[in-house]
Structure 1
Amino acid sequence: MSGILDAIVIGAGSAGLGASYLLTQQAYNHLVLERDRIGETWRTQRWDSFRLNSPRIRSVLPGDSFDGPDPWGASTQHEFVAYLESYAKRHRLPVRTQTPVRELTRDNGLYLVATLHGTLRARNVVIATGNLNCPARPSWSAELPPAIRQLDSSTYRNAAELDDGAILVVGSGQSGGQIAEDLVLAGRSVFLATSRAGRLVRRYRGGDIFNWMTLSGFLDVTRETLVLPSGKLPPRALLGATHTISLQSLSAQGVVLLGRFIGVENGTLQFGDEVVEHIRFADDSSAEVKRFLDRYIARAGLEAPPPEEDPAETIAARLPDPPIRSIDWATIGIRSVIWCTGFKGNFRWVRLNGALDAVGQPVHRDGIGIIPGLYFTGLDFASTRKSGTIPGVAEEAARLANHLAKRARDID
């Protein structure tokens, strides 16, 4: 492979294709390299009943507008993958599939992208692989008995694939809450180790919550504002794709709510006593979002129906009495644990001094890397609440394309 490209985009998911569209519009000579198929993560890291949390009308990429049926409905991952393939074809994006990147280095001011088919050279590189592709588990997960099958939210598919017996879901953010409901609706015995995670209603004051959050600027709140005192970012709030899911609604369906899963002691599973606190925190976070939206509606002078009660919020929680702090897994019959405890990115192939921090994650400011010509897109909470979501693609792609253009002018 000879010649020097203006840019190479690594990853053909929504972020990578969105970046490629903007680069194409600016006539940049570039390629998009994809390890397998377009939208591979969407194909392989979602459960069967998964649907996008952003409605169809808010799930389009740069240059497109939605004109299909059910604009406020929720697409399946299969529908979204088909959309990504169509998007790349319609806009004639230069995607090379089945081209995993082995190594990214830099020499004499050029980036060297080593693939199975040779090495490409480029003046700029946009890494669009995201940072939600490597499941994170607590270190003590290795202490669980071998008889318990452990999965991550990215490998869970459906209840029928799990062994007979009870299931423990760990984490009550988006994935944990949705998977717990998927399991209990399938008739399984489900325990949910809750966490300090926010919650959102699906609809509010006559509109979709995601649309309200977009219009009001709620999704534009900056990363710096969101960082917790611990230095970490909060998990994504629990949001059902088609309806509201709350800890209390899950308990009403039969999910047994527990506190934090804190470890294994003498062969038994140990839990904290924070269930009531976690329910209260989720309720408070939902109320806070509603107040934000109410202020926006009043400020903008919009006509919207008055606030309404959501049954998933008003239903009473059914909690174990006394609270469960310890479980003998064999007696209860827990045979599977599904970890919904977050992800990190796999950037081991990036061999650039200073590009990654001490734990191997990107060093950047609003997606712009510390090394000239290095960019990251699709990172969760990279700049704002919107970062890392499909509706955030257009904004991020435009910012990176503009910065890349400025860099080209400065070089010239």
Structure 2
Amino acid sequence: MSTSKPVQLNRRQVIRGILATTAFGAATKFGTGCTPASQTQASSNAEDKPIVMGFIYVGPKDDFGYNQAHAEGKQGLAKLTWLKTVEEANVPETTAVEETMRNMIEEEGATVLFPTSFGYFDPHILKIAKEYPEVQFFHCGGLYQEGKHPKNVGSYFGYIDEAQYVAGIVAAHTSKTGKLGFIAAKPIPQVLRNINSFNLGARSINPKITTQVVFTGDWALPVKEAEAANSMADQDIDVITCHVDSPKVVMETAERRGIFCSGYHANQAKLAPKGYLTGAEWNWAQVYSRYAEMIRAGKTLMNGGIPHLVRGGLKDGFLKMSPYGAAVSAEAKKDADAVKEKFIAGNMTIYRAGLKDNTGKVVVPNKDFTQTAIELEKMNWLAEGVIGRVAS
């Protein structure tokens, strides 16, 4: 499982964390001014021996999806000569990951761990973090809760729905039928944000376009993913995208059926050379490099040098778009690039006041929801124009 489930947080918890860490651009400014002696000593020690970071994946490193994106992020650290990385793939969300974490710490000397899958967090990361209070654990997708979780545990993720919004613009320009498709694992807030943002991006170009959603029920169900993609093609849906661990099956099925596709997590262009339009990709190499630099400088979760909650979007370099495919028109590129620049400039808002869900209910009532809005962390609805329902 590779993304987060709904959590109940109060506004103060979330806003306090986000305002402190809205992006790494802000986080990396921490530590200016006086540097604690402990940080100076840690920086000195870093010159004597390499920092060892461990990366753990729930699936294969070449899945063209979630795990590959993290593995590519780890590979991006190779240029840092003062850093050593270790990794292990196909580690189940069971006590097996506890064994992997212990081995990385005790046998490999890891002092920083990135167990990337959501199911690793509770109870596994929380348990091992208590056993090794000097080791830092950074989890992708979860939310650190002050006073509840160990101080050596942190959380990072990104507003990848920004990239999905841009992809929706390209999809709308390309579609001839006005019917889009979205294959998703589970109706949790992060997935719903991607669906809704993709749809809203598309409807900014064609207000009558629709997005059909199919929830498969889990993160990696290739048979159901193929069935959903084929069913959509049979219904004259001519552009599909997804939020599953590995988009490989969806992209290949779309290509075989002669329809267009938009990727997710990593670049899947080689899987669909004719129909691939673009994709919402992670840029974990930049995120991991920034963590590494802060740790080298002696900053930690425990001494307050590294925030416990880190989020970022296109503006912060957490995300990127796949290169445009051959089928993307010049007009589509122009419109998509213009909105992407707005995100990068920090003056683009997806969820505007007055927005309705697909039942006609106003779900953004009084003011715009910016990316840090607590309401988006609890999203349980599908936007107007999305065909489907949120089932528990």
* TM above 0.5: no
Give the helix-richer structure, 1 or 2.
Answer: 2
TM-score of the two chains, using structure 1 as the length reference: 0.26
Greater gyration radius: 1
